């Protein structure tokens, strides 16, 4: 069978192509190896920066806090007895000395009357002894004995008066009778509670300062507290602890604020801002804040030689124009675009902002 001419042509073309791809590597490999390979271009990365000047700014330490009563006292009974009345409603405002709980008088009034009668008898005996001694019918020792009996009678009267007065359990200071612990009919032994009194004016706003900021806080520093309802309170630092809490490593502090009319309750959450003097600060965009390989928050900036540097910073305050930070020195060119794609010490090219 004779092949057609067109088939012979196709077979010849295929054979030539196969021969070309088989033989070409054997003769062309050395020449290609001799030619130098083109190097991959590695252009200098471009970043955008924002010049930021150093500014002296009033520094505030910001922390979470809460309102707290200046005083909280459990008012206790000084004598034993049954509660006869509770004239002060729970949760009401009271004056100093107002009766909170009243115990039954029982025989205390009778004891006072008996002590007063004995006092009158001793007074007459002392008078008679003095008159007889003046006439020579009583010795000096007998007069002194009569005087001692009179003194003892006076002491008994005072003790009976105090015992009768103790049936009325009174408020030790002006404030709020926050909780009553005894009801009518309750038997109270000495030391058992009638209720709890709290003082709300002045009021404390308390917080716990981190150990990195505690050294900058001092008694007398001005402070402002913003409550959950937006109300603002102003006062001064009263106390900063010298010993840290072993669990949280924070230092307790107290701010005294005025609370006229006891309008603000105890236990409200607050944002506490305390003046900590003036210091250097920089205003940078929020987007410029990054984390380094150690997890520290900071900013990357471009040095005069065109290389990248990183500086950890502490955020002082966040505003609509950016965040005020502490940790940079002098005027710096903070990287605002590309800061997450460059490394410390890397050479970069500063591009114009679009």
pLDDT at site 26: 58
* For residues 316-327, average pLDDT: 87
pLDDT at site 24: 64
Does 67 have pLDDT greater than 60? Answer: yes
Lowest-confidence region among 184-188, 199-203, 336-340: 336-340
* For residues 102-127, average pLDDT: 92
pLDDT at site 156: 94
Reported confidence tier of residue 34, pLDDT bands at 50, 70, 90: very low
Does 3 have pLDDT greater than 60? Answer: no
**DSSP output for 318-332:** EETTEEEEES--SSE
CA distance 50 to 302: 10
Residue ranges and CATH numbers for the domains of the chain are: 47-59+280-350 (2.40.420.20), 62-69+196-276 (2.40.30.170), 75-194 (2.40.50.100)
Q: What 3-state class would DSSP assign to 125?
A: helix
Q: pLDDT higher for 182 or 315?
A: 182
Which H helix or E strand runs over 234?
Answer: strand 232-240
Q: What pLDDT digit, counting tens, does each position of 212-269 carry?
A: 888 889 999 999 999 999 999 999 999 999 999 999 999 999 999 999 989 999 999 9
Pairing of strands 308-312, 297-302: antiparallel
Q: What pLDDT digit, counting tens, does each position of 158-190 carry?
A: 999 999 999 999 999 999 999 999 999 999 999
Cα–Cα distances (Å) from 304 to 11, 73, 308, 331, in that order, read 70, 64, 10, 11
């Amino acid at each position: 069978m004779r092949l057609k001419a067109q088939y012979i042509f196709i077979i010849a073309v295929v054979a030539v192509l196969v021969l070309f791809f088989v033989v070409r590597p054997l003769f062309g490999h050395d020449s290609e190896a001799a030619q130098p390979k083109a190097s991959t271009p590695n252009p200098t990365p471009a970043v955008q920066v924002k010049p930021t000047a150093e500014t002296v700014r009033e520094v505030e330490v910001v922390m979470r806090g809460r309102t707290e009563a200046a005083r909280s006292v459990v008012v206790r009974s000084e004598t034993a007895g049954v509660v006869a009345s509770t004239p002060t409603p729970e949760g009401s405002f009271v004056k100093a000395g107002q009766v909170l709980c009243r115990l039954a008088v029982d025989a205390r009034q009778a004891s006072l009357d008996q002590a007063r009668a004995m006092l009158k008898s001793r007074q007459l005996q002392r008078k008679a002894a003095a008159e007889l001694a003046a006439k020579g019918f009583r010795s000096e020792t007998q007069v002194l004995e009569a005087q001692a009996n009179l003194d003892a009678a006076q002491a008994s009267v005072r003790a009976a008066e105090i015992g009768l007065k103790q049936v009325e359990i009174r408020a030790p200071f002006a404030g709020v009778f926050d909780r009553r612990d005894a009801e009518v009919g309750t038997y109270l032994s000495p030391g058992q509670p009638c209720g709890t009194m709290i003082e709300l004016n002045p009021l404390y706003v308390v917080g716990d300062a981190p150990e990195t900021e505690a050294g900058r806080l001092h008694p007398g520093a001005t402070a402002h507290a913003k409550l959950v309802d937006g109300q603002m309170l102003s006062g001064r630092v009263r106390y900063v602890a010298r010993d840290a809490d072993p669990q949280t490593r924070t230092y307790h502090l107290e701010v005294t604020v005025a609370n006229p009319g006891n309008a603000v309750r105890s236990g409200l959450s607050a944002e506490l801002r305390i003046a900590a003097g003036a210091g250097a600060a920089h205003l940078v965009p929020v987007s410029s804040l990054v984390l380094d390989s150690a997890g520290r928050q900071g900013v990357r900036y471009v040095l005069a030689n065109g290389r990248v540097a990183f500086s950890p910073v502490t955020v002082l305050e966040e505003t609509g124009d950016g965040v005020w930070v502490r940790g940079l020195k002098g005027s710096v060119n903070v990287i605002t675009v590309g800061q997450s794609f460059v490394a410390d010490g890397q050479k970069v090219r500063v591009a114009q902002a679009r």
